[in-house]
């Protein structure tokens, strides 16, 4: 639909100052909306992405540190297996050599270790001939021969043994987590096969305590404001905050834990799906039961061991930084922009005030109310100053023109007065001439009457006739003289009438000019 510009212009304020104020407010509002939109649509996703990357880096760092610890255990176990491949099958030599390797300079994380030969592989005719040392509560390793007892179940059918039988030489196979029946401490075992004379001869093992793992994950999980947990390759819980271990020496599975705490079901479903190689799986929980708020769960896979490390981060830590940045930018930018707009509004208001003063001066000049010395003050060298200077020049030229008109009007007024006086004199002379002509006409009429009477009385008295004739002749001479005088006077009167008529026309024109001059004079005197 086309925009009606007249309607839009009708809605806008009439005064420029009002438009300036409205424009400043709208600019501030639109800037706030633009900043909010940019931060929401562009900034926040990038900050969230950066926060997610930081969480992944934290999780990867935890995985790397755990991998280093496990690598140390794998190295000790592999060293022991390699040693057995060249070590003579002498009990005294094994008893003297292996404890030093297993102890690993008093590493408390190592719960024990030993070798587990194949039946008849170490001593012919002896099916069970293992050498195992366990760390006591006091700290040193102690030899244990329980696995070789005749009434024991043996070790050749244990999962950690059968699994290592088929693994590559020198490679550690980590067992499922289990609870030590004596100490009730969660443990896992690194099993490395060794060969003698080219054939599988047994397994070297190191038992790793997982209580240090719990302390490590508790410290590292707090880095992101949440917590961390660990699962083995079978889904057993190596560590989860406040989780209770299963009864009867059994490890607690994550499936069982999710049934105890249903808010973990989405995590259990994610763990049940195949993990992409080298990728971090992430999911969002609407409310974490431990944190009592929305959280993001990041799942990391540990290569080699098959463990899964979970890092739970409050959603506020992920998106809170983006919101905080948006708020801080708005709190900093809007007051600064408002201050800049205020200064701009002051400058615009001052500019508008000078324009209004210039407008009033122009109106005063147009209405004739400006004083003789009224000039605008020019204090700036920009376009406004040039405009005010031009108005001053225009006002000066207009005053000079009005003064010249007033001077010429006074001269015309004086000339009109003189013409009026001359016209009055001519009118008086014309009136006097008219009176003389009237008297002359009366005298001629009387003379004509006398001549008629003389003619009627001619027959009666010749003397009288002659006398009358003489009188008539004299009168005729007077009449002729008077007739000539009358004709001359008539010519003069006609000439005077023409002059009077021309004077009357000139007087009318002068009167019209005088009216204009009087109006201009009155306007000028009023303006002064």
pLDDT at 457 over 60: no
- Band the pLDDT of 98: cuts 50, 70, 90: very high
Cα–Cα distance measured from residue 148 to residue 160, given in angstroms and rounded to the nearest whole number = 17
> What is residue 479's predicted lDDT score, i.e. its pLDDT?
46
Which DSSP letter does residue 40 get? I
pTM (2 d.p.): 0.57
User: Which of 26-30, 177-181, 211-215, 441-445 is least confident?
Assistant: 441-445
Q: Which residues contact 150 (CB under 8 A, 6 or more apart)?
A: none
pLDDT at 236 over 80: yes
Residue with tokens 């080219």: 198
Cα–Cα distance measured from residue 456 to residue 198, given in angstroms and rounded to the nearest whole number = 203
pLDDT at 262 over 70: yes
Q: Report percent pLDDT > 90 for the chain.
A: 20
User: Per DSSP, which regions of 289-362 are E strands?
Assistant: 293-301, 308-314
> What is residue 89's predicted lDDT score, i.e. its pLDDT?
87
Token pair in block for residue 343:
């200064």
- For 366-395, what is the mean pLDDT? 69
Average pLDDT along the chain: 78
> What is residue 521's predicted lDDT score, i.e. its pLDDT?
52
Cα–Cα distance measured from residue 416 to residue 429, given in angstroms and rounded to the nearest whole number = 20
- For 139-145, what is the mean pLDDT? 87
Cα–Cα distance measured from residue 258 to residue 241, given in angstroms and rounded to the nearest whole number = 13
pLDDT at 207 over 90: yes
pLDDT higher at 221 or 426:
221
Maximum distance among all alpha carbons in the chain?
225
Q: What does each C-alpha distance from 37 to 334, 337, 521 come to in angstroms? A: 14, 17, 68
User: Which of 211-220, 225-234, 353-362 is least confident?
Assistant: 353-362
pLDDT higher at 503 or 186:
186
């Amino acid at each position: 639909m086309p925009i009606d510009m007249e309607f839009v212009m009708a809605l806008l304020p009439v005064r420029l100052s009002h438009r300036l104020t409205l424009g400043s407010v709208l600019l501030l509002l639109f800037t706030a909306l633009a900043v909010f939109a940019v931060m929401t649509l562009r900034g926040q996703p990038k900050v969230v992405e950066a926060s997610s990357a930081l969480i992944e880096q934290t999780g990867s760092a935890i995985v790397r540190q755990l991998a280093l610890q496990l690598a140390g255990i794998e190295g000790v176990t592999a060293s022991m297996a390699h040693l057995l491949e060249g070590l003579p099958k002498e009990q005294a030599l094994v008893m003297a050599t292996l404890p030093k390797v297993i102890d690993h300079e008093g590493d408390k994380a190592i719960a024990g270790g030993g070798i587990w030969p194949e039946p008849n592989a170490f001593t012919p005719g002896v099916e069970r001939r293992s050498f195992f040392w366990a760390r006591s509560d006091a700290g040193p390793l102690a030899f244990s021969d329980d696995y070789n007892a005749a009434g024991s179940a043996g070790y050749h059918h244990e999962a950690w043994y059968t699994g290592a039988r088929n693994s590559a030489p020198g490679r550690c196979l980590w067992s499922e987590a289990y609870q030590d029946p004596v100490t009730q401490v969660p443990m896992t075992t690194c099993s490395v096969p060794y060969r003698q004379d080219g054939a599988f001869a047994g397994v070297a093992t190191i038992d790793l305590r997982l209580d240090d793992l719990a302390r490590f994950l508790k410290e590292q999980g707090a880095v992101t404001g949440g917590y961390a947990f660990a699962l083995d390759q079978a889904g057993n819980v190596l560590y989860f905050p406040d989780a209770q271990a299963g009864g009867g020496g059994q490890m607690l599975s994550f499936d069982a834990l999710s049934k105890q705490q249903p808010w973990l079901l989405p995590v259990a479903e994610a763990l049940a799906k195949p993990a992409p190689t080298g990728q971090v799986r992430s999911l969002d929980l609407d409310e974490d039961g431990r944190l009592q708020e929305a959280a993001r769960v990041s799942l990391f896979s540990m290569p080699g061991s098959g463990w899964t490390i979970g890092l739970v981060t409050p959603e506020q830590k992920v998106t809170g930084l983006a919101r905080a940045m948006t708020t801080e930018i708005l709190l900093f930018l809007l007051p600064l922009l408002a201050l800049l707009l205020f200064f701009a509004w002051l400058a615009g208001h001052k500019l508008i005030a000078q324009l209004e003063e210039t407008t009033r001066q122009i109106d005063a000049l147009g209405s004739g109310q400006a004083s003789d010395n009224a000039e605008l003050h020019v204090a700036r060298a920009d376009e406004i100053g040039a405009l005010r200077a031009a108005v001053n020049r225009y006002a000066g030229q207009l005053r000079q023109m009005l003064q010249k008109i007033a001077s010429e009007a006074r001269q015309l007024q004086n000339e009109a007065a003189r013409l009026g006086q001359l016209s009055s004199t001519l009118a008086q002379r014309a009136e006097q001439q008219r009176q003389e002509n009237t008297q002359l006409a009366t005298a001629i009429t009387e003379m004509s009457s006398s001549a008629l009477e003389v003619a009627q009385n001619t027959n009666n008295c010749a003397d009288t006739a002659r006398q009358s004739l003489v009188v008539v002749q004299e009168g005729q001479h007077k009449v002729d003289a008077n007739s000539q005088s009358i004709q001359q006077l008539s010519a003069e009167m006609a000439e005077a009438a023409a002059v009077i008529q021309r004077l009357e026309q000139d007087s009318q024109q002068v009167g019209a000019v005088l009216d204009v001059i009087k109006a201009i004079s009155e306007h000028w005197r009023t303006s002064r």
